[in-house]
Every structure is written in C-alpha cells, then in structure tokens.
Chain A
Amino acid sequence: MNETQSYISPSPQGYYGRFGGAYIPEMLHRNVEELKTRYLEIMHEAEFQREYQQLLQDYVGRPTPLYFAGLLSRKYNTNLFLKREDLCHTGAHKINNTVGQILLALRLGKKRIIAETGAGQHGVATATVCALKGVECIVYMGEKDIERQAPNVARMKMLGAKVIPAVSGSKTLKDATNEAIRDWINNPSDTHYIIGSVVGPHPYPDMVARFQSIISKETRWQLKEKTGTELPTHVVACVGGGSNAAGAFYHFLDEPSVKIIAVEAAGYGIDSGMSAATTRLGKEGVLHGSRSLVMQTEDGQVTEPHSISAGLDYPGIGPMHAHLFESGRGQFLSATDEEALKASFEVAKLEGIIPALETGHAFAALDQLSLTMEDRVVLCLSGRGDKDLATYMKVMDA
C-alpha cells in the first residue's frame, strides 16, 4: 500500500494512509473495477464538465451563498460564515454528488439506479436526478428511517422512485447500504449504485469527495470577496459518512493553517451505549467495502449506532476522515442529540434559518472551540430542517 501524497487524494488502490481500499466480494469486482478505471477519465471530459457545471448552476442553484451570520458571530465572539448548502435544490448538499453520478452512470451505459438513504436527503437527491434523466430509481431505506423521515419518503415517491424498506439489523442507514449492495450484486450489468457519502469501496470515497469539493472551491473565492483572504481559520462540518465534510474541507486540507473540525453524533452521550461517534468508539475494521474506523464489538460484529439524526446514524466513517483523525490533521468533536436540538433552535431564532438536525450537530460544536474575533470560521450548513419538523415539533410540544 502506498502512502498518500496529500490528505486529498488516495493512492492508486484507494488508500488514505491505512484506510480505504476495495474489500468487496468477487460479484462486485467488475462493476467497481469499471468505475475505478473510468471515473477520472469521464469526469475530466470537457463535455461532462460542461453538462455538470451547467446543471449545478441552473438546476441545483449554485454557487450557494456564503452568508455572514452576524448574530451567531456575536454570540460566539467570532466571525462565522455559513456555507448555504441548505439552499441547494432538494435542500441539502447531497445533490452535488447525485448530479455528477447520474451523468457518469449514463456515460457508463447504465439504465437503472439504486441508492441507500438515511435521512432521505440522498434518496430525494437521487430520485430527483433520475426523474430529470428519465432513469429507473430504487432507493433502500431503513424501516426506522422511513418512519422518522416521512416527508422525504413522500417526496421520493412523488418523484417516481421506488422506496424499499431495509428490515434487518438496526433498520437504519447501515442496513439500507447492505441491501443496496445486494441489489447491485443481483443486477451486475445494467445498474449503477449511487452511494451517498464518502464511503464504500474505492473509487467511491474519492469520486464523491470530488463531486462535493465544489463546496470548498466556492468558499475560497467567496471568502476572498468578503474578507480579502481565501483561507478561513476553521472549517466546521458534521460527519455521518462524511460527504459534506469532505466537500467543505477539500480545498483546505493541504493548507496547514486551516483548522479542520469534524463533528460526530454522540447520541445520548459517548459512553451511553447509544451513540454514533465513530472516531471515539470505533476500531479499525472493514465495513461496506473499505478499511476504516468501525463501531464494533470485540468479536468484530458491527454495532447498531444511535443518533437522533438519521443522516449521522451510521457506525462507520469514510476512509478519508479516518485518516484525518488518525494523522491529527482533523479535530474530531461530537455533539449529543440534545445539544444538536438546542443548537438548531438557536440558529432558527437568531438567524431565521432552520437547519437539518445533522447540521445542528455542527452548530453545537461551536461552543467547544475557543474562538476569537480574529477567527474566520466557515460552517457547512449541509441541509435544511424541513424533513426534521416532526422531531422539532415534539421538542416544542414538550
């Protein structure tokens, strides 16, 4: 295994430090190998880029604003900028990736799309681009998530996707991912699997990170316009699998002055047995095709995580993030269910923005940083909170 040259790009076999690779059964080999040999070539084609950039602009609504949050800045005694991925079409960063992957899938001649989803944001973003391109779409979603993210299930159906419940294990994102992988094994020739985060076998983590890297690319010039300098002092993002974080960090990873802050979901608390804070609780292992940090028992059975936020309720983390954690390049914090809820309400009141519960975790971590008026903090506002209203309403009624 080669050492990686930078924090951004994996080795040719897909390793970030010790993490990554492609741990897949032979049944997936041809599809994954095809993707591995072709993704960069396709992504670099002029025609692909033209179509991708056009859709990002006219369909997704990019560039998304970089908003100076005055009242939150005052509260945290710093300069806080929010990267407004919540303003993307469909309400979260997930569509940056699905727009790219659908174009790639069509160039690979695929006729059928499958996806897994936790919060439903990736499912909606996949269903959306499939509707746009007239491609059959099947979304696997944990039974528990189907319940707690009902509005997104309705959206997927209205967009013409078939939503199949995953009923094994914890009935959440991990199990939905297992089912999607099984579907791909059963349909090896006509199907492309659009993974929704920087997880899975190589080349997925790199491919998804590249599609999401538009977030930090825009942040650089937007920050320059607003402050005269391209570089923030801190970039903060929540981490489930880690795609919004990978995108928000990407163009700053090889800038040592920029502090990289990743926020995981602590659930009821790190030591409660009901948590999803993978870097705190996980060990090195193999899950969903890559070597990374994985929450597991002593016997190597993957454990069922807990987070109030379906998008962070995952017992693993992308290999890029495992490497950022282990190398010390990234600082990993966590926020509990309660802290995330409280932060979401605060953002709603102070800034008039209702964030997704996932993003609430990123906001909740601001308290843990010792910030000053000299700092320029960029926080990735990964999604909006419409899908979480049922949860928010329960808090208001209590």
Chain B
Amino acid sequence: MSRLNNLFQQKNKRILNVYCTAGYPTLQSTINVMRSLQENGADLIELGMPYSDPLADGPVIQASSSKALQNGMTIPTLFAQLKDFRKDITVPVILMGYLNPLLQYGFEKFCAKAAEVGIDGIIIPDIPMYEFEQEYRAIIEKYGLDFIFLVTPETSEERIIKLDQLSSGFLYAVSSSSITGSDKDFSPVETYLHKLQSLKLKNPVLVGFGIKDKATFETACKYANGAIIGSAYIKALESDDNVEMATREFLNGILN
C-alpha cells in the first residue's frame, strides 16, 4: 500500500500537511527542514520545487522560490539531496512543481527518479486534464506515484468528481479561489467545504491556501480530513535562522 493510503488509513482526521520550498532558506536546509517538520508533528510534507514563474503561488512562496533558485537549487541537486532521505524521514512526501522544469528534465525520468528516492506523489498545478489523461497518467502509474489534482470553489460539481477520479492519495481543495497566502475571510469557505463533503469523494480531502494558524486549521479540519499550510510556515522560516526552533514553535502554535 502506498505511504499516502497508509497514512489516511491510520489517521483520517486532522492531517497536517506542511509545504516547504526545496533549497530554502539555504541550499542545504532541505532535509533539515523536512526532518524538523516530521519531528514536530507534520503528517505529510509537500516539498516545492522552485520555479521562476510560479503562477499559482503568492508572494511569500514566490520569494522563497527565487531565494532557493539563487541558492542554486535545481531538480538534479534536489534528487541528490533526497538520495538517502528515507533513512530517517518516514512520513509521506509529495513533490510540488510546475510543468516546464519537468519537461526539460524529462517527465518520465523525473517520475523514475522520484520513485527511486522514495517520493510518494506529485502535484503539478499547470498540467491540463486532457494531457494528463493522454500522456502523463500512464507514466505516473508506472512508477507507482500518486497524483493530486486541485479543486476550487469555482470548480463545477461534475468536474470535481472527474478530478477526484483522476487523483490518488488525496484531493487538494483550494480554500478560496486565490493564490497561496491570501488573507481573505475564511467563513464563506465553509459552505464550499460542506459541499465537498456531501459529494462522497473517493479520496480524502485536504484544504489548502489561507490556512495560517490554529483557528483556520481547526475550521478546515471540521469539514475535511486535514489541511495544508504553506505561506505561514515559509514566513516563520524567514524570520528565524534556526530551522529547528522556528519549526517547533510554528507547529506547536498550530497543534497545541
């Protein structure tokens, strides 16, 4: 069974997925950040591969991506860093990135390498559904990776059901149709999450975008299997040089 399925079988409530950018805050901090996240209660890690033009990300994650690129992060470098990470990191890890760098690296080579080092799934927000079905799905399945689609409050019911069918591991529910890290009011989102619940989807649902503190995490957990925190954590890393301390303090604030 895949690590993701296993996780959701053991625990299907209050799943905390934390996003971090590979090569941020320093080139060598990737593994250290992941280890700290695991030690301090993250159930799942979403590791972002930095890109020059991250359209679906807000200013905080965008800035962390630029910094990571300046630090010298590339896909080959990342795979080198991940070579032995399964020795001490046991939580599921998914890679998030944009299509262009993967096309240059080679999509199949990317999946093969990801599977080889022990990655569990991938999120690529700018892959069109038709191209996924025609080209990428078979490759992703061949290497036993999960692929996670996004849905938003603007997504039609019919399309949500289709995206759920195509996804495995979990479904990523964007909390408001907005880029990551926005400060919008969270309450209208509850209606939407309620709707998702009523659709009886095949995958667990994690809510992302705009989850930034204990309160928003709790709300998300009321209506979904858990939540994804990104910008708020990146901000915490930004203001503290000590990755372990910053991570402990941040996750304590969410979980306790």
Interface residues of A (CB under 8 A from B): 1, 13, 21-27, 29-31, 168-169, 174, 178, 181-182, 185-186, 188-189, 283-289, 294, 296, 298-302
Q: Which of B55, B101, B103, B105 has the most CB of A within 10 A?
A: B55
Asked if B2 CB lies within 8 Å of chain A CBs, one says: no
Q: How far is the CA of A186 from the CA of B98 in the complex (A)?
A: 19
Q: How far is the CA of A247 from the CA of B182 in the complex (A)?
A: 39
Do A186 and B182 form a contact, CB below 8 Å, given A26-B152, A26-B174? yes
CB–CB A299/B99 < 8 A: no
CB–CB B100/A30 < 8 A: no
Asked if B179 CB lies within 8 Å of chain A CBs, one says: yes
Q: How far is the CA of A335 from the CA of B29 in the complex (A)?
A: 45
Asked if B58 CB lies within 8 Å of chain A CBs, one says: yes
Asked if B69 CB lies within 8 Å of chain A CBs, one says: yes
A residues in contact with B127, CB < 8 Å: 23
B residues in contact with A29, CB < 8 Å: 152, 154-155, 159
5 cross-chain CB contacts under 8 A: A24-B55, A30-B154, A169-B53, A185-B178, A301-B51
Q: Distance (Å) between the CB of B196 and the closest chain A CB?
A: 14
CB–CB B104/A26 < 8 A: no
- A181's partner among B55, B74, B150, B156 (CB-CB below 8 A) is B55
Q: How far is the CA of A125 from the CA of B148 in the complex (A)?
A: 41
Closest to A299 in B: B74
Q: How far is the CA of A24 from the CA of B126 in the complex (A)?
A: 5
A residues in contact with B125, CB < 8 Å: 25-26
- A26's partner among B62, B66, B102, B149 (CB-CB below 8 A) is B149
- A300's partner among B102, B134, B174 (CB-CB below 8 A) is B102
CB–CB B100/A286 < 8 A: yes
Closest to A202 in B: B128
B residues in contact with A182, CB < 8 Å: 55, 58, 179
Closest to A301 in B: B52
Closest to A22 in B: B128
CB–CB A299/B152 < 8 A: no
Q: How far is the CA of A174 from the CA of B154 in the complex (A)?
A: 27
CB–CB B178/A186 < 8 A: yes
Q: How far is the CA of A288 from the CA of B75 in the complex (A)?
A: 21
Interface string of B53-76 (1 = CB under 8 A from A): 101101000100010010000110
B residues in contact with A181, CB < 8 Å: 55
Q: How far is the CA of A174 from the CA of B53 in the complex (A)?
A: 9
Q: How far is the CA of A90 from the CA of B231 in the complex (A)?
A: 41
Q: Distance (Å) between the CB of B209 and the closest chain A CB?
A: 9
Q: How far is the CA of A294 from the CA of B101 in the complex (A)?
A: 12
Q: How far is the CA of A169 from the CA of B54 in the complex (A)?
A: 11
A residues in contact with B62, CB < 8 Å: 168
Q: How far is the CA of A182 from the CA of B58 in the complex (A)?
A: 8
B residues in contact with A298, CB < 8 Å: 104
Q: How far is the CA of A22 from the CA of B129 in the complex (A)?
A: 10
Q: How far is the CA of A288 from the CA of B100 in the complex (A)?
A: 11
| Other contacts beyond A13-B130, A169-B53, A302-B100: 19, CB < 8 A | A23-B126, A25-B56, A27-B177, A27-B179, A29-B152, A29-B154, A30-B152, A30-B154, A30-B155, A168-B62, A178-B53, A185-B55, A186-B178, A188-B152, A289-B126, A296-B104, A298-B104, A301-B52, A301-B101
Q: How far is the CA of A29 from the CA of B101 in the complex (A)?
A: 22
Do A283 and B99 form a contact, CB below 8 Å, given A25-B126, A27-B56, A27-B179? no
Q: How far is the CA of A149 from the CA of B149 in the complex (A)?
A: 41
Range for the number of chain B residues in contact with chain A: 35 or more
Q: How far is the CA of A186 from the CA of B180 in the complex (A)?
A: 10
Interface residues of B (CB under 8 A from A): 51-53, 55-56, 58, 62, 66, 69, 74-75, 98-105, 125-128, 130-131, 134, 149-152, 154-156, 159, 163, 174, 177-179, 182
Q: How far is the CA of A287 from the CA of B150 in the complex (A)?
A: 20
Q: Distance (Å) between the CB of B96 and the closest chain A CB?
A: 11
Q: How far is the CA of A1 from the CA of B133 in the complex (A)?
A: 12
Pairs of residues from A and B, 9 with the lowest C-beta to C-beta distance, nearest first: A300-B101, A300-B104, A25-B56, A25-B125, A30-B154, A26-B150, A301-B52, A188-B177, A23-B126
CB–CB B154/A287 < 8 A: no
CB–CB B55/A26 < 8 A: no
Do A283 and B174 form a contact, CB below 8 Å, given A24-B126, A25-B125? no
Q: How far is the CA of A248 from the CA of B74 in the complex (A)?
A: 41
A residues in contact with B101, CB < 8 Å: 299-301
Do A287 and B100 form a contact, CB below 8 Å, given A30-B155, A178-B53? yes
CB–CB B179/A186 < 8 A: yes
- A169's partner among B52, B103, B131, B152 (CB-CB below 8 A) is B52
CB–CB B75/A299 < 8 A: yes
CB–CB A27/B104 < 8 A: no
- A23's partner among B75, B99, B150, B159 (CB-CB below 8 A) is B99
- B104's partner among A22, A25, A288, A299 (CB-CB below 8 A) is A299
Do A286 and B103 form a contact, CB below 8 Å, given A25-B55, A181-B55? yes
Closest to B184 in A: A186
CB–CB B178/A285 < 8 A: no
Q: How far is the CA of A29 from the CA of B149 in the complex (A)?
A: 13
Q: How far is the CA of A185 from the CA of B66 in the complex (A)?
A: 21
- B56's partner among A185, A287, A288 (CB-CB below 8 A) is A185
A residues in contact with B52, CB < 8 Å: 169, 301-302
CB–CB B178/A286 < 8 A: no
Do A27 and B152 form a contact, CB below 8 Å, given A22-B128, A301-B69? yes
Q: How far is the CA of A296 from the CA of B52 in the complex (A)?
A: 10
Do A287 and B53 form a contact, CB below 8 Å, given A22-B128, A25-B126, A185-B179? yes
Q: How far is the CA of A186 from the CA of B59 in the complex (A)?
A: 13
- B150's partner among A27, A30, A189 (CB-CB below 8 A) is A27
Q: How far is the CA of A31 from the CA of B128 in the complex (A)?
A: 15
Closest to B174 in A: A27
A residues in contact with B152, CB < 8 Å: 26-27, 29-30, 188
CB–CB A300/B149 < 8 A: no
Q: Which of B74, B105, B150, B154 has the most CB of A within 10 A?
A: B154
